[in-house]
Amino acid sequence: MHFTYDGDRLVATTPAFLGIAMALQKTEPGRVGLRVLADREDLGRRLVDSLSREHVERARLDTSPDESRIGSRDERAKARSSGIAGAELPGEQLALLTRLVQEYTRDLDRPIAEAHERLIDPKRARFAFSGEAKPGAELYYRVVGPEFTIEFHRHNNHVHSLWRRNDDFGRSG
């Protein structure tokens, strides 16, 4: 998690990266079966699984999950044109996309999360994925809008998630 202040005024809360090497606890007594970041994974899988064949073709990336991640600002700009637009999704799928975005903003205190959510319109975002919806399978997804970027990657038993705003570290642009 990252927080940038200008004096006593909070100006940025991104980038926010969460990850764990043991997404599914298998051996620690009292925690066997615990899944870390499970809601992010499950909502992403539900959204992928709910897509029509046509939407899958438009949303599926032609790279493997390991090759799909976004790095530079240029890659983020290019990602804004890949995948399927939230505005093209039927109501139930748009609701899933909205819940998925909220899953990332709601790591913050409620007033900060609500301020972020007022600026984010899932209809203007694009959803893209690589991998499979099947539980336990490798999956990468991203949601990219004019104001933000979300990425999630599950590989073996490792999970990483990233939420970025265009004002990372309090910068504009």
Please give the pLDDT value at position 173. 47
What is the residue extent of each domain of the chain?
39-151
pTM of the model: 0.84
Tokens of 95: 């609701």
- What pLDDT, in 10s, does the model give residues 20-74? 776 666 666 776 677 778 899 999 999 999 999 999 999 999 887 777 777 666 7
Among the listed residues 70, 50, 87, 37, the one whose alpha carbon sits nearest the alpha carbon of residue 141: 70
What is the rounded distance in angstroms from the CA atom of residue 19 to the CA atom of residue 69? 14
- 149 near 76, Cβ under 8 Å? yes
What is the rounded distance in angstroms from the CA atom of residue 142 to the CA atom of residue 161? 10
Let me know if 132 is exposed, middle or buried by CB neighbors in 10 A (0-12, 13-18, 19+). middle
What is the rounded distance in angstroms from the CA atom of residue 53 to the CA atom of residue 31? 38
